[in-house]
């Protein structure tokens, strides 16, 4: 039997993912011809490229039911359809074509030969790996059956529970967590058992607990991980004796938000001739978290810290993230330093990367630094000289980045403030400032230097790429720009510089926030990959994430790879063991990053809706951010979003002009379009569904 047929037969008979070693063992056990692991690995690669098998994490493979299928992760929309992220790009899956797959599942898709108006479309024909094992929802009783109605609108269909076997004591209306014991198919509904009762939907803290459960976020570390972290200590003198560079004499400082709990980057800067020497010091997490240790495996699974409205779910245990790795003022810390000599135009003339030891002399906050820049009052001459020099070099580095086409969006971040009981008290809007920009430019520069260094060395690497904008999304933006009379409405195939012009034209105009939002939506999501690719938003040919290893797993990988490259040990363990895993690690990190961002946004939104529930009947100013046949989406000044349903627009019969993103009244000719400023009254606020209902006034 030919090797590929033998390998396929073995995979199909297994009905479970197998590695090359597993396949070799099964063939030998069944008395088949001897195939070495290397040959099987080659065959598996060929079968994957032909679409006959799917490659899963950890070097395992699964046979597909059909050939020529595309494998990817399914992201469901709350309206029932979804997209599969695949090597071909995003593939649209209609609500009738999901094949029982759920949000986050790894699926195999049969792609339709012709593109639709939504791009490539396909049908899920096989669920390869389930992402969801639990459902959080509202408990209801119907005779002898219990029903869990998912709070996550991306999960279609209820989960049924046998009340006779139910151990948890849940009351109707309680929010519960249920473990799935049977997934839905075309004949049967989803079934499960209740494992946890969170309590009534309006009980304190339940709203954020729902978000945590919906996104499958880990809230506790396994005991062995916590124990391993707490057993770690520092050996500063020992490390210096082993060759780590001592830069403790440099004046060093951190700049972070006032509410930051961990500090993973610090800055040193001195004038040198007409230019500057800048040191970017990053916490050396890789020193404490070796590859495949118990701490590493847990961090790998989490992939990122998650910053919810009322808590942080860290990637690393507290002893690491907040104590021995955090660059706290006045304390010696192990770091990884990128030292750069820049000329007066911001060009990096020379650089060096090395493990180091620092002492942070001062912890600064963004607001504090911005106050000094605006009105003086520096605490001393050393701090004043450092901050003013930092601003000078950051400005020219920024100008150089913009000159090559890098984008700067005028974004506003809304943070809901809470009282001691977790109840919302208000909204703080955070915009970009000189202080935030200074740190951003330093981090971008360090990331680029590391990426270019590894590229020049032809070393294996994790890159951060950002692909060109989606053509269909750009077409929608073009219509809106034309409606607003923008002079650069032709954005098909636009370069970053065209985006710059649009952002600049929108600056200070009423529709500024909308235009920035539409442009951001048109851009593809940045992601992690194991190969070199460009970053559209930064107009960079090589970019990575090196500067936040406390909270991002890809940065931790980059630290390990860079360390190994510097000592020429990429072909030795642990780097040699890590490199073959880079493909699935980058895919996993990208997926977890999206999940974390979604959870962070949802946690803010649930508190924002709860805040606005106290203002039912009141009138607010807003801007139209979406136009659909069923109504208008309106965003208030505090970023709360709600729907004006056409049923409340009783003054006329409104029709949708889909091409111009506009509702128009048949009789009176009144129109409502994207970007239009309106006044609305809050009619209803549903916290569980994170929904606000408005009416026009």
CATH number of the domain within which 93 lies: 2.40.50.140
3-state secondary structure of 353: strand
Q: Are residues 310 and 381 in the same domain?
A: yes
Residue 349 covered by a domain: yes
Residue 218 covered by a domain: no
Residue 212 covered by a domain: no
Residue 386 covered by a domain: yes
- Boundary (domain end) residue, out of 99, 129, 159: 129
Q: Are residues 171 and 31 in the same domain?
A: no
Looking at residue 116, what is its pLDDT? Answer: 65
CATH code, 12: 1.10.10.10
CB atoms within 10 A of CB 50: 12
- Name residue 246's beta-bridge partners: 357
Residue 351 phi/psi, 5-degree rounding, is: -150, 165
Residue 639 covered by a domain: yes
- Boundary (domain end) residue, out of 63, 80, 103: 63
Looking at residue 180, what is its pLDDT? Answer: 93
Q: What is the pTM of this model?
A: 0.85
Q: Are residues 338 and 264 in the same domain?
A: yes
- DSSP for 25-89 reads HHHHHTTPPP--HHHHHHHHHHHHHTTSEEEEGGGEEEE-SSSS-EEEEEEE-TTS-EEEEETTE
Cα distance between residue 40 and residue 34, in whole Å: 10
Looking at residue 1, what is its pLDDT? Answer: 67
Looking at residue 118, what is its pLDDT? Answer: 64
- Total number of domains in the chain: 6
Cα distance between residue 277 and residue 341, in whole Å: 4
Number of residues that this document lists for the chain: 697
Q: Are residues 189 and 327 in the same domain?
A: no
Q: Are residues 278 and 312 in the same domain?
A: yes
* Contact criterion met (CB below 8 Å) for 61 and 19: yes
Q: Are residues 44 and 113 in the same domain?
A: no
Q: Burial, 164: exposed, middle or buried (Cβ in 10 Å; 0-12, 13-18, 19+)?
A: exposed
Residue 325 covered by a domain: yes
Q: Are residues 275 and 405 in the same domain?
A: yes
Q: Are residues 507 and 598 in the same domain?
A: no
Alpha-helix residue ranges (DSSP H) falling in 490-581: 496-506, 512-522, 553-566, 575-578
Cα distance between residue 652 and residue 660, in whole Å: 19
Q: Are residues 12 and 153 in the same domain?
A: no
Looking at residue 392, what is its pLDDT? Answer: 96
Stretches where the chain sits below pLDDT 70 are: 1, 32, 34, 57, 115-118, 472, 489, 493
Q: Which domain range does residue 516 map to?
A: 471-523
Q: Are residues 534 and 669 in the same domain?
A: no
- Boundary (domain end) residue, out of 523, 553, 588: 523
Q: Are residues 635 and 681 in the same domain?
A: yes
Residue 131, by phi and psi: left (phi above 0), alpha (psi -120 to 50) or beta? alpha
Residue 553 covered by a domain: yes
Q: Are residues 571 and 589 in the same domain?
A: yes
Residue 610 covered by a domain: no
């Amino acid at each position: 039997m030919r090797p590929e047929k033998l390998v396929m037969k073995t995979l199909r008979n297994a009905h479970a993912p197998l590695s090359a070693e597993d396949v070799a063992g099964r063939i030998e056990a069944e008395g088949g011809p001897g195939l070495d692991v290397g040959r099987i690995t080659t065959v598996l690669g060929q079968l994957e490229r032909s679409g006959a098998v799917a490659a899963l994490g950890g070097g395992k493979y699964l046979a597909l039911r059909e050939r020529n299928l595309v494998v990817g992760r399914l992201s469901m929309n709350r309206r029932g359809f979804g997209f599969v992220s695949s090597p071909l790009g995003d593939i649209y899956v209609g609500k009738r074509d999901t094949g029982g797959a759920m949000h986050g599942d790894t699926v195999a898709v049969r792609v339709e030969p012709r593109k639709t108006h939504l791009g490539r479309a396909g049908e899920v024909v096989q669920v390869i790996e389930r992402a969801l094992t639990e459902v959080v929802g509202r408990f209801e009783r119907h005779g002898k059956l219990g029903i869990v109605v998912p709070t996550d609108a991306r999960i279609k269909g209820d989960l049924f529970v046998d009340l006779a076997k139910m151990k948890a004591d849940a009351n109707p209306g309680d929010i519960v967590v249920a473990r799935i014991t049977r997934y839905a198919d075309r004949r049967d509904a989803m079934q499960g058992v209740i494992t946890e009762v969170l309590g009534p939907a309006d009980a304190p803290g339940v709203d954020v607990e729902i978000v945590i459960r919906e996104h499958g976020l880990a809230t506790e570390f396994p005991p062995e991980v916590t124990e391993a972290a707490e057993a770690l200590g520092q050996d500063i003198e020992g490390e210096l004796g082993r060759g780590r560079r001592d830069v403790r004499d440099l004046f060093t400082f951190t700049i972070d938000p006032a509410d930051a709990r961990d500090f993973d980057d610090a800055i040193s800067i001195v004038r040198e001739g007409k230019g500057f020497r800048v040191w970017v010091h990053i916490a050396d997490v890789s020193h404490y978290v070796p590859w495949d240790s118990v701490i590493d495996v847990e961090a790998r699974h989490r992939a990122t810290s998650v910053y919810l409205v009322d808590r942080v779910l860290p990637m690393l245990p507290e002893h690491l993230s907040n104590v021995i790795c955090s660059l706290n003022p006045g304390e010696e810390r192990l770091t990884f330093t990128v030292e750069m000599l820049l000329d007066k135009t911001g060009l990096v003339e020379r650089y060096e990367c090395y493990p180091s030891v620092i002492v942070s002399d001062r912890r600064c906050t963004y607001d504090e630094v911005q106050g000094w820049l605006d009105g003086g009052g520096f605490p001393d001459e050393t701090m004043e000289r450092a901050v003013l020099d930092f601003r000078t070099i950051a400005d020219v580095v920024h100008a150089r980045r913009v000159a090559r086409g890098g984008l700067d969006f005028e974004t506003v971040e809304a943070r809901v403030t809470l009282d001691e009981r977790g109840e919302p008290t208000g909204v703080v809007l955070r915009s970009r400032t000189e202080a935030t920009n200074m740190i951003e430019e330093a981090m971008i520069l360090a990331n680029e230097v590391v990426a270019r260094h590894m590229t020049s060395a032809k070393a294996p690497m994790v890159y951060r790429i950002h692909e060109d904008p989606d053509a269909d999304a750009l077409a929608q933006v073009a219509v809106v720009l034309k409606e607003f009379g923008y002079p650069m409405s032709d954005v098909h195939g636009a370069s970053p510089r065209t985006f710059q012009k649009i952002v600049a034209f929108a600056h200070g105009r009423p529709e500024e926030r909308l235009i920035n939002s539409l442009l951001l939506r048109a851009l593809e999501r940045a992601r992690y990959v194991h190969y070199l690719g460009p970053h559209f938003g930064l107009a960079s040919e090589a970019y990575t994430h090196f500067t936040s290893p406390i909270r991002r797993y890809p940065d931790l990988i980059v630290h390990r790879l860079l360390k190994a490259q510097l000592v020429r040990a990429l072909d030795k363990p642990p780097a040699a063991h890590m490199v073959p895993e880079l493909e699935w690690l980058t895919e996993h990190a990208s997926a977890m990053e999206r999940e974390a961002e979604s959870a962070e946004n949802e946690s803010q939104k649930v508190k924002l809706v709860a805040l606005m529930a106290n203002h039912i009947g009141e009138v607010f100013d807003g801007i139209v951010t979406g136009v659909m046949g069923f109504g208008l989406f309106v965003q208030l000044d505090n970023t709360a979003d709600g729907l004006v349903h056409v049923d409340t627009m009783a003054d006329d019969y409104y029709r949708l002009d889909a091409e111009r993103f506009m509702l128009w009244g048949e009789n009176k000719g009144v129109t409502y379009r994207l970007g239009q400023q309106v006044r609305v009254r809050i009619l209803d606020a549903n916290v569980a569904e994170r929904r606000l209902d408005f009416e026009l006034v």
